[in-house]
Structure 1
Amino acid sequence: PKKRTTPHKSNPGFPKWLCASLLILFLLLAISFFIAFIIFFQKYSQLHEEKNTTKEPIHTTLECEKKNLTMAEKVWSCCPKNWKSFNSKCYFIATESKSWHESEKKCSRMEAHLLVIDTKDEQDFIIQNLDKRSAYFVGLSDPEGQRDWQWVDQTPFNKSATFWRQGEPSDRNERCVVLNAYYSSWGWNDIRCDTPQRSVCEMTKIYL
């Protein structure tokens, strides 16, 4: 008699392994999408908050004066409260001491920048409002230590309109500039940027 052949049974473990792998893969994808959604939501919330913050005015109180530009045109020129007014600029004199970079960041948060001195008249006005016992960072620095001085607002550095003290600048490691008084005579001095000093912020007047 012929031998009875039994049908070959497929390996029952293969489909189970495949199903388990697919289930694990699906769970990993679900977790990845969930994490990505959380990160996206946090970034969106942060951007939305920053956008709403920028809409709010930085300076809510202004001190203004009316000036005649022409016979037919009159405008109000304004500075934030507690800022000093001179020509077309406003100046804020900081009393706390910070590094040069921290001082510039603080000015930037007030929609300003560290002081840029263009003329002797401007410097003479500023020093009338400063404490002779302190030094004040201005917006002049030498980032690479190559004596390539640069103003923070990209104003070209004019060597003929500088007010260095005698013998200054003196050290390539001193890459930031302060305005200070020495024997009642004000001038520029290069110092290390991380040395905490007071500072002066500057912004263009607001016209209404």
Structure 2
Amino acid sequence: MRVAAFMLFPLVYKFNNTHTLKIHIHIMHLFALLTNKGKVWSCCPKNWKSFSSCCYFFSTDAKSWKESQENCSRMEAHLVVINSKDEQDFLTQNMDKKAYFVGPSDPDGQGQWQWVDQTPYNQSATFWHPGEPSHSEEHCVVINHRPTSLPWGWNDVPCKHSHRSVCEMMKIYL
């Protein structure tokens, strides 16, 4: 890392003395931050929202579940995998009162829900609306809002219907 900092200095040297000093100070400050043990910077791509160790993209256009997953994949992400109530709450706080595709599906219609990233499906960490899942012909899941005691929850829907979606990726660490 020291070599990199010294390699940058000759490039800066071509500016007048005032600019050289300011840029050198910024470089040294950045170098100190990056080499400081225990300090890690994380970030998300532009227009993504940060929560815990992940970044989330809330689409504004409606697509099928498959098209939504393909869209996430093009961004090097996947449909969101929800692991906790805190994560579910974060998601719903960032949603319009629309339906959003999320990562579980039941491709065979046998009630064998699975996450898009192969995370084991944990029945105790699900947020189904009362009475859901309700139809063996509905193989995909949306989070949607209902005017009930549990306003936000999961609903099984046909995969070919068009809804917004939420993509998830790990944060980028520096």
* Equivalent residue, structure 2, for 1:207: 173
1:150 and 2:76 matched: no
1:74 and 2:39 matched: yes
Shift of 1:75: 1.4
Q: Distance in 1 between matches of 2:37 and 2:161?
A: 51
Structure with the higher strand share, 1 or 2: 1
Residues 107-139 of structure 1 show CA distances to partners (whole Å, capped at 9, x for unaligned) of 00000000110000000011011001x100001
Q: Distance in 1 between matches of 2:166 and 2:38?
A: 32
Residues 136-178 of structure 1 show CA distances to partners (whole Å, capped at 9, x for unaligned) of 0001100111000000011000001110011000000000000
Shift of 1:194: 0.1
1:163 and 2:111 matched: no
Q: Secondary structure at the match of 2:95?
A: coil
Q: Secondary structure at the match of 2:132?
A: coil
Residues 77-129 of structure 1 show CA distances to partners (whole Å, capped at 9, x for unaligned) of 01001100000000000000000000000000000000110000000011011
Shift of 1:72: 2.5
Q: 2:60 aligns with which of 59, 73, 95?
A: 95
Q: 1:104 aligns with which of 64, 69, 78?
A: 69
Q: Distance in 1 between matches of 2:70 and 2:126?
A: 24
* Equivalent residue, structure 1, for 2:161: 195
Q: Distance in 2 between matches of 1:110 and 1:80?
A: 10
Which has more radius of gyration? 1
Q: Secondary structure at the match of 2:166?
A: strand
Q: Secondary structure at the match of 1:106?
A: helix
* Equivalent residue, structure 2, for 1:183: 147
Shift of 1:76: 1.0
Task: Tell me the C-alpha RMSD between the 2 structures.
Answer: 1.3
Matched residues, percent identical? 67
Query: What is the TM-score normalised by the length of structure 1?
Result: 0.65
Q: Distance in 2 between matches of 1:182 and 1:126?
A: 15
Residues 29-80 of structure 1 show CA distances to partners (whole Å, capped at 9, x for unaligned) of xxxxxxxxxxxxxxxxxxxxxxxxxxxxxxxxxxxxxxx9xx8321110100
* Equivalent residue, structure 2, for 1:9: none
Q: Which runs of 5+ in 2 are unaligned?
A: 1-32
Q: Distance in 1 between matches of 2:130 and 2:113?
A: 17
Q: Distance in 2 between matches of 1:186 and 1:104?
A: 22
Return the structure number with greater relative CO, CA threshold 8 A, min gap 6. 2
Q: How many residues align?
A: 138
Runs ≥4 residues deviating over 6 A: none
Q: Secondary structure at the match of 2:124?
A: helix
Q: Which runs of 5+ in 1 are unaligned?
A: 1-67
